[in-house]
Amino acid sequence: MLYLHIPFCHRKCTYCAFYSAVTSGSKQPYVDALCRELELRRAEQPHPLRTVYFGGGTPSLLSLDQLRQLVDTIARCFDLSQLQEVTLEANPEDLTPVFLQGLIGMHFFNRLSIGVQSFFDDDLHLLNRRHSAQQSLQAVQAAAEAGFGNISLDLIYGLPGQTLARWQANLAQLSALPVSHLSAYALTVEEGTILHRQVAQGRLLPADEETVLAHYQALLQWASQAGFEQYEISNFCRPGCRSRHNSRYWDRTPYLGVGAAAHSFSGCCRRWNVADVGQYVAAVGNPPHEEELLTPTDAYNELVMTSLRTVEGIARERVEPPFLDHLSRAIARFVAAGLIQETPTHFRPTPAGLLQADGMAADLMAPPSR
């Protein structure tokens, strides 16, 4: 699997804590550096690619020619004979008919992930999004008409002042669209974000836990009625339409990540590139980076953290014997509480357990090796 980070944004969303660069200038030097990194690191991904993901930032800010340059480089450097899924993250305002037809014409992209966040203009203004609710509706319809049969939307719940009725109206609007996947996230106030400053200054009051829980329960009810299956805490899809790429993150499949601030995972080592576009471009494909060699304890703890967020849970066969003994003892109280279902092959979170996945994972982790 391959991930390309496109860090550019027209402006920063209030809630975003990811690395991005607000720019209106030329992106070509960055694209050239990306292509060079792909060439230099191709040996790190010797197996045929099954998934490719263009994330950001806002990948749809690149021109069609720049995207085609990246596609051509990927095709030259990697084996695409088993490619199944290629996703482009996009903002609604970028998905014009010309742009969509250009994507289809490359015969490469087969999945769009559109950052809608809300179908209400005042919510979008609060989040500092550039698009309108009407542009979201038009973008989804245009994408379907252009030939995209696998469309995912992002929505956010638990916004300041967002009522349960408004959240339910967002979900009802989604039901009327040709969408096969939903990523729905509870708004979190991350340090260093505009939202964090607004809350600290008393300009915004975050939703309370009771409200967020009510929104989540409404989400589960909607998914059941709309024919969407939940396969991870925040991810829902029509049957057969799971995100293949993101699912492989959660089962700790090795992947190559290129671009400023991009992360890679070899199976035993994690690497992350410098989070600075200027330094990344200046390095011409060999960016400054840091690496971390994972200990067996690190690997076990990561497995617990990621697996408990999925409906499949933790597969016993993937836990080494010393850690399996620790896990079996530590997890017993969550089984007794009805938060975990224990089977001969898995420890699976129940619907109630998924809500407490992060807290349970922290209690199930093994202490660092001495």
From residue 105, give the alpha-carbon distance in Å to each of 64, 76, 121.
Answer: 10, 18, 32
Structure tokens at 274: 């410098």
Pick the CATH number of 2-250 from 2.160.10.10, 3.40.50.2300, 3.80.30.20, 3.90.1150.10: 3.80.30.20
Domain segments of the chain as ranges: 2-250, 296-364
Domain 296-364 coded CATH 1.10.10: yes
Structure tokens at 197: 């400053």
Radius of gyration of the chain (CA): 21
The Cα 12–Cα 22 span in angstroms is 7
Which H or E run includes 280? helix 277-282
One pLDDT digit (tens) per residue for the chain, 370 residues: 999 999 998 887 888 877 778 876 789 999 999 999 999 999 999 999 999 999 999 999 999 999 999 999 999 999 999 999 999 999 999 999 999 999 999 999 999 999 999 999 999 999 989 999 999 999 999 999 999 999 999 999 999 999 999 999 999 999 999 999 999 999 988 888 888 889 889 898 888 999 999 999 999 999 999 999 999 999 999 999 999 999 988 888 999 999 999 999 999 999 999 999 999 999 999 999 999 999 999 999 999 999 999 999 999 999 988 899 999 999 999 999 999 999 999 999 998 899 899 999 999 999 876 4
pLDDT reported for residue 369: 62
The Cα 8–Cα 24 span in angstroms is 9
Alpha helix ranges (H) inside 153-232: 164-175, 194-200, 209-226
CB neighbours of residue 280 within 10 Å: 29
